[in-house]
Structure 1
Amino acid sequence: MFAIFLTPAYAPFAIAFVVMIGIGLIEAIGLGLGHLDVHADLHAETDGGGVLDWLGLGHELPILIWLTSLLGCFTLAGIAIQQGATLVTGSPLGWGVASGAALFAGAMLNTLAANGLARVMPGFESSVISTDDLLRRRGTILEGVARRGSPARAKVVDQHGQAHFIMVEPHDDKDAIAAGETALIVRRDGTMFYALPDTNVLLQPI
Structure 2
Amino acid sequence: MIEFWLAEENLFFSAAILLMFAIGLLQLVGLSDFGPDFGTNIDTDIDAGADLDSSGEGLLSFLGIGRLPMLILLVLFLSLFGLVGLVGQQIYSGVFDQLLTPWLAVPGSAAIAIPLTGLLSRPLSKIIPRDETTAIHIDMLVGRRGVIEIGKAETDSPARAKITDSHGHHHYVMVEPGNEGEILNQAEEILLVRREGEIFKAISPDTAKFLS
Q: Distance in 1 between matches of 2:152 and 2:103?
A: 60
Task: Confirm whether residue 6 of structure 1 aligns to residue 6 of structure 2.
Answer: yes
The alpha-carbon distance between structure 1 residues 167 and 125, as it changes in their structure 2 partners (threshold 3 A), is: same
- Contact 1:146–1:170, Cα closer than 8 Å, also in 2: yes
Task: Confirm whether residue 80 of structure 1 aligns to residue 87 of structure 2.
Answer: yes
Task: Confirm whether residue 32 of structure 1 aligns to residue 34 of structure 2.
Answer: yes
Aligned twin of 1:46: 54
Q: Distance in 2 between matches of 1:78 and 1:139?
A: 48
Q: Which fold has the larger relative contact order, with Cα–Cα distance below 8 Å and residues 6 or more apart in sequence?
A: 2
Q: Distance in 2 between matches of 1:200 and 1:185?
A: 9
Q: Mark the runs of 5 or more structure 2 residues left unpaired by the alignment.
A: none
Corresponding residue pairs, total:
201
**Which TM-score applies when normalising by structure 2?**
0.66
Deviations 1:38-63 (A, max 9, x none): 5567853117822121112255854x
- Contact 2:153–2:176, Cα closer than 8 Å, also in 1: yes
Aligned twin of 1:177: 184
Aligned twin of 1:151: 158
* 3-state DSSP of counterpart to 1:177: coil
**Which TM-score applies when normalising by structure 1?**
0.68
* 3-state DSSP of counterpart to 1:32: coil
Measure how far apart 1:83 and its partner are.
2.1
- Contact 1:70–1:106, Cα closer than 8 Å, also in 2: yes
* 3-state DSSP of counterpart to 1:12: helix
Q: Distance in 1 between matches of 2:200 and 2:22?
A: 33
Aligned twin of 1:136: 143
- Please, what is the CA RMSD of the aligned residues? 4.1
Q: Percent identity?
A: 29
